[in-house]
């Protein structure tokens, strides 16, 4: 369980990093992105992260207990 949680956190960091990198590169090459588009993109990233969390922790949460992390 601990290994899957750490792997999940690494995946979330990668997803956020890729999104930040995409926004930064588009800004550097001169593509004007409206603030609303950037906000929507971050909301999509947050939803993807929630989906990853649900897939990893869903079975433990629906059974009513989380196993101890050792």
pLDDT in tens, 7-56: 899 999 999 999 999 999 999 999 988 999 999 999 999 999 999 888 88
Task: Report pLDDT for 41.
Answer: 93
Higher pLDDT pick, 25 / 58:
25
- DSSP-H helix ranges across the chain: 2-28, 35-63
How far separated are the first and last CA of the chain, in Å rounded? 9
Reading the block at residue 41, the tokens are: 């993109």
Domain ranges (residues) in the chain:
2-59
Q: Does the structure show a pLDDT above 80 at 61?
A: no
Higher pLDDT pick, 55 / 67:
55
- Whole-prediction pTM: 0.73
Is the CB of residue 5 less than 8 Å from the CB of residue 56?
yes
Q: Does the structure show a pLDDT above 80 at 60?
A: no
């Amino acid at each position: 369980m601990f290994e899957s949680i750490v792997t999940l956190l690494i995946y979330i960091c990668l997803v956020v990093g890729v999104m930040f990198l995409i926004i930064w590169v588009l800004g550097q090459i001169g593509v004007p992105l409206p603030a609303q588009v950037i906000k929507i993109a971050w909301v999509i990233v947050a939803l993807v992260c929630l989906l990853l969390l649900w897939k990893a922790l869903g079975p433990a949460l629906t059974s009513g207990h989380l196993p101890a992390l050792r």
